Structure 1
Amino acid sequence: MTDPAHGGGPLDVLERMLPLLRDKDLDALADLYTEDAVHELPFAPPGAPRRIEGRERIREYFSSTLAHVPLEFHAFHPVAVNPAADPQVVVAEYDAEGVAAPTGRRFTVRYLWVLRVVDGRIAEWRDYWNPSQILDLQG
């Protein structure tokens, strides 16, 4: 059964994620995951995890790593959002706009996400982005 507090399908969950990402409300973002969720970062830079298993480990990663990334996101603009043949999956491409806090530089970074949602929660998120672009923004 779907948890109404977390929305239904992948498009609903995607819409709930965006303001949480923008506002860096990472604890609430972690709450959107299933207990046994997997977050994959196929292009993570050296030393960063490429696969994180379990909601609490994902929460730890968010609080220990993402919370300290000095990027301020102002908006996420959809480039393409496509439901997959599997009704639990959506493929979403977004441009994130914001400011790099250390330099004051404005940026636009492209993200590609593949989300699988089960019972209104993220069961799997494959998060594709260009790590060198993010690292360059940090100064």
Structure 2
Amino acid sequence: MELFDRYIAAVMKKSSDGLAELFTAEGRLSMPFRRSREVVTGRENIRLHYANGFSVAPLCFTSIQDVNFHYTNDPDVAVIEYKLNGYTLPEKKTFILSYVNVIHVSDGKISELVDYEDVLNRDDIFNS
């Protein structure tokens, strides 16, 4: 899925502009496993969400692994499992973060992305 490849490329670069441009103007980003259960609606709000997150997250992503696509009965919906590798800044402690994303596509853009991140592992990275 080319759209997912572009999404991961923008994540690896920590490009809030690149990520936001992948969403429809009314796009929706939800993170149900985060404590705040964040739901961000609208391309500009999504841009701000990523910009704010990347500015405070001391992480550098280096590669992706174990990518598995699961297609649904709806051709505009895919479920993708993957892991991101990287290291923390400034300590350079390596990590692997696991994700499951449900991506809804409309006219070649993301209309909704549900991001199920392994937040317990993320907490371990920052608190150990």
Whole-angstrom CA distance in 1 between matches of 2:69 and 2:55: 26
Counterpart residue number, 1:91: 79
| TM-score, normalised with respect to structure 2 | 0.91
Deviation at 1:49, TM superposition (A): 5.0
Q: How many residues align?
A: 127
Identity %, equivalent residues? 29
- Closer, same or farther: CA 67–81 of 1 in aligned 2, 3 Å: farther
| TM-score, normalised with respect to structure 1 | 0.84
Structure 1, 77-86 or 123-132: larger mean CA deviation: 77-86
- Closer, same or farther: CA 65–49 of 1 in aligned 2, 3 Å: farther
Deviation at 1:82, TM superposition (A): 1.4
Stretches (4+) displaced over 3 A: none
Counterpart residue number, 1:31: 21
1:41 aligns with 2:31: yes
- Pairwise CA RMSD: 1.4
Stretches of structure 1 that go unaligned for 5 or more consecutive residues are 1-10
Pick the aligned partner of 1:16 from 2, 6, 27: 6
Map Cα deviations across residues 43-83 of structure 1 (whole Å, 9 max, x no partner).
Answer: 112xx452111111111111112332111110111341112
Stretches of structure 2 that go unaligned for 5 or more consecutive residues are none
- Greater RCO between the two (CA within 8 Å, min separation 6)? 1
